């Protein structure tokens, strides 16, 4: 009989799916016949780039996440309203998800990091595990708790997480000391292939030029950088919607390469604080310049780990200026290359999940 796993994934950016995909890949090494349902409203085209073995996809909004102004800025007011709306028919939402579980009959639920489904799973007697580097209770508390009504919403989210058999807190991550069921596992990161020479030959990039990969996560972002000239020593690997000088800009889309291979092939990375790019860059020993994201509650813990394990530096808060980026990359590349940490978290999580089958 095939073991059936339902993985519920928040659509707040792409990092949650990336984390889950690595753990599922490790779990399938233990359970090759795993039957997988992905419950998420992330685009199926993206899911296929991360989950490389068969899965069933059911589009479904699993949680609220945070409403964003941009890849860097949370809209706290609209987020607060979204949570009020989501929690308005709390019992009805759980009943809807219980019916979904009755239809698919999973043996185990992995939530990254929705919470109402954990309550539905408990009501149906199905084991459930939460997993992430953050949880929405702590994030919601940071931005949205202002009165008694919002405190009750926060308490409901926290209680839901506590019903899980375990919360696998990935490294790096928020402390989550308020979760008695927390277990800490190592970093989760995919390893890519270094195809730098092929990339340079195809796009005629000289060896003295530095390939800088710009990665701000799964949010539409249009960034304007001051014009660059042929003499600049940085060639940007950036999304097509970044308005950059064509002479120094290769779009990620035109390379046709998987993102993780681009990361393995670049000389340095430009990013915002975010789990996926931080761990993947670090586990490839890539220098990383990061934009400020001081209000995001996960940032201090991600930045502390990043700076302890790879060459990293923050950029000024004044905006994205080409000179700041060039100086940051040059300074980081002068530092000794560190020993990259091993991404042990996926196998640790998979071994834990395997005990439920």
Supply the DSSP string of 112-178, one letter for each residue. Answer: ES-SHHHHHHHHHT--EEEEES--HHHHHHHHH--SHHHHHHHHHHHHHHHTSSEEEEESS----TT
The four Cα atoms 25, 274, 258, 206 give a dihedral, to 10 degrees, of -140
pTM above 0.85, yes or no: yes
What is the reported pLDDT for 64? 95
Two structure tokens written together for 105: 């009959």
Q: Which residues of the chain are in CATH 3.40.50.2000 domains?
A: 4-187+345-354, 196-333
- The 8-class DSSP code of residue 248 comes to G
Q: Please give the C-alpha separations between residue 219 and each of 117, 273, 281, 297, in angstroms, as whole numbers.
A: 25, 13, 19, 18
Q: Please state which CATH number belongs to domain 4-187+345-354.
A: 3.40.50.2000
Task: Say if residue 272 is preceded by a cis peptide, omega within 30 of 0.
Answer: no
What is the reported pLDDT for 282? 98
Whether the CB-CB separation of 153 and 140 falls below 8 Å is answered with: yes
Give buried/exposed letters for 254-282 (b at 16+ CB in 10 A, else e). Answer: ebebebbbbbbbbbbbbbbbbbbbbbbbb
Two structure tokens written together for 243: 């308005």
Q: Please give the C-alpha separations between residue 180 and each of 126, 334, 355, in angstroms, as whole numbers.
A: 20, 44, 20
Whether the CB-CB separation of 320 and 225 falls below 8 Å is answered with: yes
Q: Please give the C-alpha separations between residue 234 and each of 27, 51, 213, in angstroms, as whole numbers.
A: 40, 32, 10
Q: What is the pLDDT along the chain (357 residues), one digit of tens a residue?
A: 799 999 999 999 889 999 999 999 999 999 999 999 999 999 999 999 899 889 999 999 999 999 998 877 899 999 999 999 999 999 999 999 999 999 999 999 999 999 999 999 999 999 999 999 999 999 999 999 999 999 999 999 999 999 999 999 999 999 999 999 999 999 999 999 999 999 999 999 999 999 999 987 654 555 555 555 555 788 999 888 776 655 578 999 999 999 999 999 999 999 999 999 999 999 999 999 999 988 999 999 999 999 999 999 999 877 677 788 889 999 999 999 999 999 999 999 999 999 999
What is the reported pLDDT for 243? 66
The DSSP code sequence of 87-126 is HHTHHHHHHHHHHHHHHH--SEEEEES-SHHHHHHHHHT-
Q: Name residue, tokens 């209000």.
A: 295
Q: Name residue, tokens 């405190």.
A: 151
What is the reported pLDDT for 182? 98
Q: Can you state the percent helix, strand and coil of the chain, rounding each to 5?
A: 40, 15, 40
Two structure tokens written together for 310: 């790879």
What is the reported pLDDT for 321? 77
CATH architecture of 196-333: 3-Layer(aba) Sandwich (3.40)
């Amino acid at each position: 009989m095939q073991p059936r796993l339902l993985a519920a994934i928040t659509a707040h950016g792409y990092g949650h799916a990336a984390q889950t995909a690595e753990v599922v890949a490790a779990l399938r090494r233990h359970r090759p016949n795993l039957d997988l349902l992905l419950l998420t409203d992330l685009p199926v085209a993206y899911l296929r780039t991360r989950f490389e073995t068969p899965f069933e996809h059911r589009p479904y909004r699993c949680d609220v996440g945070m409403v964003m102004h941009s890849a860097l800025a949370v809209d706290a007011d609209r987020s607060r309203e979204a949570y009020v709306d989501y929690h308005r028919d709390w019992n009805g939402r759980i009943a809807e998800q219980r019916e979904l579980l009755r239809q698919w009959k999973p043996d185990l639920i992995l939530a990254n990091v929705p919470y109402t489904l954990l309550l539905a799973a408990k009501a149906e007697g199905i084991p459930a595990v939460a997993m992430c580097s953050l949880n929405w209770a702590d994030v919601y508390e940071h931005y949205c708790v202002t009165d008694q009504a919002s405190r009750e919403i926060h308490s409901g989210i926290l209680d839901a997480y506590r019903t899980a058999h375990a919360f696998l807190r990935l490294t790096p991550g928020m402390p989550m000391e308020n979760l008695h069921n927390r277990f800490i596992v190592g970093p989760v990161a995919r390893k890519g292939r270094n195809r730098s020479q092929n990339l340079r030959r195809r796009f005629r990039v000289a060896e003295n030029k530095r390939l800088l990969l710009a990665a701000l996560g799964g949010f539409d972002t249009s960034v304007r950088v001051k014009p660059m000239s042929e003499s600049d020593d940085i060639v940007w690997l950036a999304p097509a919607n970044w308005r950059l000088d064509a002479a120094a800009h290769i779009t990620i889309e035109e390379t046709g390469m998987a993102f993780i291979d681009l990361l393995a092939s670049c000389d340095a990375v430009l990013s915002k604080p975010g789990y996926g790019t931080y761990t993947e860059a670090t586990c490839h020993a890539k220098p990383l310049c990061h934009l400020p994201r001081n209000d995001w509650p996960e940032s201090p813990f991600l930045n502390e780990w990043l700076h302890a394990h790879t060459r990293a530096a923050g950029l000024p808060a004044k905006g994205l200026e080409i000179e700041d980026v060039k100086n940051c990359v040059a300074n980081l590349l002068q530092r000794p290359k560190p020993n990259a940490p091993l991404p042990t978290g996926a196998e640790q999580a998979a071994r834990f999940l395997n005990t439920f089958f």
